[in-house]
Amino acid sequence: MNAIDRRHFLTGTLIAAGGGMLAPSLASRAACAAESGSDDARRRAFRFAHFGDTHVGGGATMPFCASDDGYPKALKDVHALEDAPEFILHTGDIITDAFWATEESARAQWDVYRKIMQEHCRLPVRYTLGNHDVNFGWGLGAEGTPFPGKKLALEQIGLPSPYYSFNHGGWHFVVLDNTQPGGWNGFQNLLDDAQFAWLEKDLAATDSATPILIVTHAPILTVACFFEPLAKTHPDGLVISNDCVHQDVVKIHNLFRRHTNVKLCLSGHYHQVDHVQYLGVHHICGGAVCADYWRRPLTYRPEFEAGYGLVDLFSDGAFEYRFVDYGLVGYQDDPQRKHYAWGEV
Ligand SMILES: [Fe+2]
Ligand SMILES: [Fe+2]
């Protein structure tokens, strides 16, 4: 079976510029396509692939994370697409884990990642930092840290700054760094003051006719957090860990309200797929290339198989998102296990 046959287009979503109702299903895709007007108004600008959470490299903290065969499989699938993406957008958790690792282990994981990329990837890649790519030493190598928190990751992916923006095909991309010190588990999701000020400036400098796509590791707005093991039942009710909720979501959304050309926010982190629309902004959490760290579908939500996103962006600010199950079936410890194609359970 080839890559095209295996692909499952399950979360097709097409939104007219300026909004429109939707839900992540094929039925809603058809309805929204009808709302979005003529084909002329929906000329596709370009296509890219969205990789979330590859967790490549194994290492001491997660030695079971056997990505050496799995990650090339995902890359081969992308490169076999007849309608090829122009680049890969990686939303972070690139390597298995540097957060609790030694510098030696983190460097070894990056070595594995780089080797696989050299051998199997011909597409350009745009990177985002994830919480597992940085070390809890934080900062950019401040004195006394176990090892430079973000510096090593930035060196490895060739970025001078953990947040940046770029233009492609008539769209403006803003890549943010929302893994910050604090929280119950050693980090929390928010934008520090300097980054928020930079974001305000960057959005203000973007022509209001140019559609904007915001990229983060953890979602700015999500429902996947309710299904995390960290969402615990407390005597007072359901409690969501404070590293699962973007601490400054209200502040960020108030900023988005001033820029109605912010159309789509893409993220990963939860290894689940969800889609939230709030006040004209669509938030898609795009699952994980590694599923549950290359072992099986997500343990606590087995509906979520390994996959990546294919994203078509249109010149009028519309987009189409498809989740692609690239066939990591029966791959690791249980070749007989049931394969849950996402959306079919
Ligand atoms: Fe992850
Ligand atoms: Fe993460």
What tens digit of pLDDT does each residue of 153-198 get?
999 999 999 999 999 999 999 999 999 988 877 889 999 999 999 9
- Closest ligand to Cα 291: 1
What tens digit of pLDDT does each residue of 102-113 get?
888 899 999 999
Compute the distance from residue 234 Cα to the ligand 2 centre, in Å: 24
| Domain presence at residue 339 | no
Residue 285 φ then ψ, to 5°? -95, 120
Compute the distance from residue 202 Cα to the ligand 2 centre, in Å: 25
Per-chain mean pLDDT for the chain? 82
Task: Give yes or no for a contact between 11 and 321, defined as CB atoms under 8 angstroms apart.
Answer: yes
| Domain presence at residue 341 | no
Give the Å distances, CA to CA, from 180 to 21, 52, 130. Answer: 33, 19, 10
The predicted structure's pLDDT at residue 101: 85
Which residues face 164 on adjacent strands? 175
Distance (Å, whole) CA 111 – CA 30: 44
Question: For residue 137, what pLDDT band results from cuts at 50, 70 and 90?
Answer: confident
Residue 323 φ then ψ, to 5°? -90, 125
Q: Which structural domain, as residue segments, surrounds residue 247?
A: 3-324
The CATH number for 125's domain is 3.60.21.10
Domain count, the chain: 1
- Closest ligand to Cα 271: 1
- Closest ligand to Cα 96: 1
Question: For residue 70, what pLDDT band results from cuts at 50, 70 and 90?
Answer: confident
Compute the distance from residue 95 Cα to the ligand 1 centre, in Å: 9
Compute the distance from residue 135 Cα to the ligand 1 centre, in Å: 14
Compute the distance from residue 18 Cα to the ligand 1 centre, in Å: 32
| Domain presence at residue 272 | yes
- Closest ligand to Cα 179: 2
Distance (Å, whole) CA 74 – CA 69: 9
Quick one: tokens of 76?
């081969």
Per the rule left: phi > 0, alpha: psi between -120 and 50, beta: everything else, 234 is beta
Positive or negative: CA dihedral 293, 295, 301, 303: positive
The predicted structure's pLDDT at residue 193: 96
Quick one: tokens of 202?
């960057």
Compute the distance from residue 270 Cα to the ligand 1 centre, in Å: 6
Compute the distance from residue 310 Cα to the ligand 2 centre, in Å: 20
How many CB atoms are closer than 10 A to CB 334?
Answer: 10
| Domain presence at residue 335 | no
Which residues face 310 on adjacent strands? 49, 322
More confident residue, 203 or 148: 203
- Closest ligand to Cα 189: 2
Question: For residue 48, what pLDDT band results from cuts at 50, 70 and 90?
Answer: very high
Which residues face 323 on adjacent strands? 309
Nearest Cα to Cα of residue 98 among 54, 53, 139, 152: 152
Neighbours of ion ligand 1 (CB under 5 A): 53, 93
| Domain presence at residue 342 | no
Quick one: tokens of 174?
């803003």
| Domain presence at residue 334 | no
Quick one: tokens of 10?
């399950």
Give SS3 for 70. helix
| Domain presence at residue 330 | no
Q: pTM above 0.75?
A: yes
| Domain presence at residue 261 | yes
The DSSP symbol for 235 reads: T
The predicted structure's pLDDT at residue 322: 94
Quick one: tokens of 315?
């010149």
